[in-house]
Structure 1
Amino acid sequence: MSKKNNKIYLDFAATTPVDREVLKVMMPYFSEKFGNASSTHSFGQEAIAAVDKARETIAQCFNCDFSEIIFTGSATEANNLAILGIVKNVQKFHIISTKIEHESVLEPLKELEKSGHEITYLTVDKTGLIKIADLEKAIKDNTILISVIYANNEIGTIQPIKEIGKLLEKINKKRKEGGLSKIYLHTDAVQAINYLECRPDWLKIDLLTFSGHKIYGPKGIGGLYIRKNSPLSPIIFGGGQEFGLRSGTENVASIVGLAKAVESAFNNKVKNFKKVSDLRNQMLADIIKHSGESAKLNGSPKSCLPNILSIRFSGLSNETLIVALDRAGVAVSAGAACSSRALAVSHVLIAIGLTPKQVKESIRISLGKDITAREIKMATEIINKTIQNLL
């Protein structure tokens, strides 16, 4: 259930509750099996065995090698490692990304720009999709990295990562023949893991970021898939854990929990996609029917995650609506949780062509895997009634 004190939680894109099975496998590592995974005695061996098993579980889900999975403290750290780690020993490089990336991609790119490196930010259409032709046209001789979010956290739009991977495979073959360096492909798949195909070989990517707390795992744990032989350098230094790429004592309990969450997400993708998609579509239809022309969908109606609804209500402040809905028993958001506190204007909604006024009329509703049809019906009735009272 997604209720707390009879409130209905519809902000699963911000964070998810820890699944019971995930919590169950984590519990022994808080007190009974508390060893440091770097210690050589039996307590340490027990801990490192758990880390190794977790890494192998995720590697099997991704159909990749054990050594290609790196644990980090968050998806933000993983994104920073992917970007800053790949360019660390390169002079005067060029990176291609998009205008709708998560802040944990955009901010390190801005730092690289300050150091004199060139970054191209691809524009998107009104549904949030990039054009592959624009990406291909933007490639230069010194391009080293392309970073494109798999599924957007605010509007749910899914980018054609596999098509980009196929294109880059052909381009890199020609570059090799011409003596140019390889272009690496990174995708932030934090929102995608629950619902989309994320095997790196299928996507033809080199780097993939994932997170625990967006897939019913614990907060404070993330991961990065790194294709073998990718020239990644560490950005955190210390004891040399994680094959020398991420120093710091391993968070064993959270690593174990992350593996269980990833395994569950991979095993239940198809079932969860259909269930959540059906509920989302019904909710959208009911809201549009009730609100008429005042309600507009932000993003793509087709190439989108099944759980995210970004809707704007003309003439209605999202801050006013969010507070009113919370008082009425439904929790939704204005967009990305990381920028909500500052009430910042969403760069994603601006990128798809909304005005600042329209951005401030937009809310994000995001469903979870365990949400029920009854909860969605109740929440929709509350939303419709609240909007009617406010307009």
Structure 2
Amino acid sequence: MRTFYFDHAATTPMHPDVAAAMLGIMTGAAGNASSMHAFGRAAKQQLNRSRDRISAALGCKPAELLFTSGGTESDNAALIGAARAQRKRRKNHIITSAGEHHAVLHTCEWLSKEEGFELTVLPVDRTGRTSPEQVKEAMTEKTGLVSIMYGNNEVGTVQPIDAIGQAVKAGGALFHVDAVQALGCLETPLRDLPVDLMSFSAHKINGPQGVGALYAAAGTPLEAVQHGGSQERKRRAGTENIAGIAGFAEAVDICVNERKTKQPFLDGLRKRWIELLKEHAGVPVIVNGDPERYLPHIANVSLIGLDTETILMNLDMEGIAASSGSACTSGALERSHVLRAMGLADEQIQSAVRFSFGLGNTLEELEEASQKIGTIARRIRNNY
């Protein structure tokens, strides 16, 4: 059976050049970057080269980039480390939005419950957008940290990061941005953005799983969350994943070099997919998210009258990988907190599916997959 992978927002296939870069290190001589001998120095040189490549692509200084195990750790390190540092400055108020990834929302809730921080969770509008004006109004003299994502992982809405960052700076707080989905699709010129902390992940850009990075602007107060060694300038203890980081650097190079052609191609796939669904699904199709400011690889659509879980099971049986954009807990589908935060009708929330595109996808396979979805939709309707 032919398969169709339309879940690139969850994880992406590794680029062959990334795999080759990693294999060369994994099959070479061993070396710990903290060791003083020649093998350790070689590993350290490889680590430094990778850091230089990624920081150059992101527009920051190498010393401002620390490596982690992925986006979730980067978010945790930024939020917990910055919040604790700001509390020492008598700033114990955190602001985030209801549309954030759980790596941010749950961490902020934990800081509020377990460490006594004041937490304000701002609403989003029906497109998933956070208003800079609401951020400004929510800020007080006690606000130490604001966290708003760059591009939403479920509906693709791109936030007005520059305007929000300006408001945060004017209020004297730190600004953290989860850019895990945005990397590779949007430009991230860190030297020009009003951002103090930004999270990244390699496996969203055809790099390896288990590797991420956190940008921390020079001078940003940040307490270490992980202890036990002096790696990453004492900000993140633990032996660095040299092969994974090298793969990350290769993936960043590729996505930067190909962004000008990749972005319009992905946007073309997204637009054509929506057209095909409206043509073949046989039910009303509603596109969720901002109609103008969106990540080009994510299409969150509601197939009105069909149930999300039923759709996903049938898609899987036909070899089509898609997602609800939310977590599965004990085998039961958890309805999207993002769509609920957007205030959408229940029929939209209960019929929403996220399709996301990337390396390997073609217009031809979209045509074939859309025919299968038409068959699936008819089968589901006939069984109701």
Same-fold call, TM cutoff 0.5: yes
Counterpart selection for 2:257 from 254, 267, 277:
267
Give the letter aligned to residue 383 of structure 1.
I
Give the letter aligned to residue 32 of structure 1.
G
> How much does 1:166 deviate?
2.9
Aligned to 1:58: 54
Is 1:97 the counterpart of 2:123? The answer is no
Give the letter aligned to residue 22 of structure 1.
V
Counterpart selection for 2:179 from 189, 193, 202:
189
Rate the CA distance shift 1:271–1:57 in 2: closer, same or farther, 3 A: same
Is 1:128 the counterpart of 2:118? The answer is no
> How much does 1:357 deviate?
5.1
> Alpha-carbon deviations, 1:294-313, whole Å to 9, x = none?
22111112111111111112
Give the letter aligned to residue 222 of structure 2.
L
List aligned pairs for 1:282-293, cutoff 5 A: 282-291=272-281
Counterpart selection for 1:30 from 26, 29, 32:
26
Aligned to 1:176: none
> How much does 1:329 deviate?
2.1
Aligned to 2:111: 112
Matches of 2:267 and 2:203, distance apart in 1: 21
List aligned pairs for 1:138-149, cutoff 5 A: 138-149=138-149
> How much does 1:354 deviate?
2.5
Counterpart selection for 1:11 from 7, 10, 13:
7
> How much does 1:356 deviate?
4.8
List aligned pairs for 1:247-326, cutoff 5 A: 247-291=237-281, 294-326=284-316
Give the letter aligned to residue 59 of structure 2.
N
Aligned to 1:159: 159
SS of match in other structure, 2:157: coil
> How much does 1:272 deviate?
0.6
Matches of 2:103 and 2:328, distance apart in 1: 10
Matches of 1:288 and 1:95, distance apart in 2: 42
Matches of 1:28 and 1:369, distance apart in 2: 23
> How much does 1:112 deviate?
1.4
Aligned to 1:177: none
SS of match in other structure, 1:47: helix
Contact 2:135 2:168 in 1 (8 A): no
SS of match in other structure, 2:364: helix
Rate the CA distance shift 1:339–1:143 in 2: closer, same or farther, 3 A: farther
Aligned to 1:331: 321
> Alpha-carbon deviations, 1:86-145, whole Å to 9, x = none?
121415611111001111101110111113221111111111111111111111001111
TM-score computed with the length of structure 2 as normaliser: 0.94
Counterpart selection for 1:85 from 54, 74, 81:
81
RMSD in angstroms over aligned alpha carbons?
1.6
Matches of 1:238 and 1:231, distance apart in 2: 20
Contact 1:280 1:309 in 2 (8 A): yes
List aligned pairs for 1:220-259, cutoff 5 A: 220-259=210-249
Counterpart selection for 1:20 from 16, 23, 38:
16
Matches of 1:139 and 1:389, distance apart in 2: 51
Contact 1:56 1:66 in 2 (8 A): yes
Contact 1:14 1:336 in 2 (8 A): no
Counterpart selection for 2:203 from 191, 207, 213:
213
Matches of 2:239 and 2:331, distance apart in 1: 31
Aligned to 1:178: none
Give the letter aligned to residue 82 of structure 1.
A
Farther off after superposition, 22-31 or 355-364: 355-364
Matches of 1:263 and 1:140, distance apart in 2: 40
> How much does 1:372 deviate?
1.1
Give the letter aligned to residue 121 of structure 2.
Y
Contact 1:193 1:266 in 2 (8 A): no
Farther off after superposition, 306-315 or 28-37: 28-37
> How much does 1:339 deviate?
6.1
> Alpha-carbon deviations, 1:179-204, whole Å to 9, x = none?
xxx31111000000021011212322
Aligned to 2:66: 70
| Structure 1 outlier segments of 4+, above 6 Å | none
> How much does 1:263 deviate?
1.5
Q: May I ask how many residue pairs the two structures share in their alignment?
A: 377
Farther off after superposition, 298-307 or 48-57: 298-307
> How much does 1:387 deviate?
1.2
Give the letter aligned to residue 17 of structure 1.
P
Unaligned 5+ segments in structure 1 are 173-181
Give the letter aligned to residue 73 of structure 1.
S
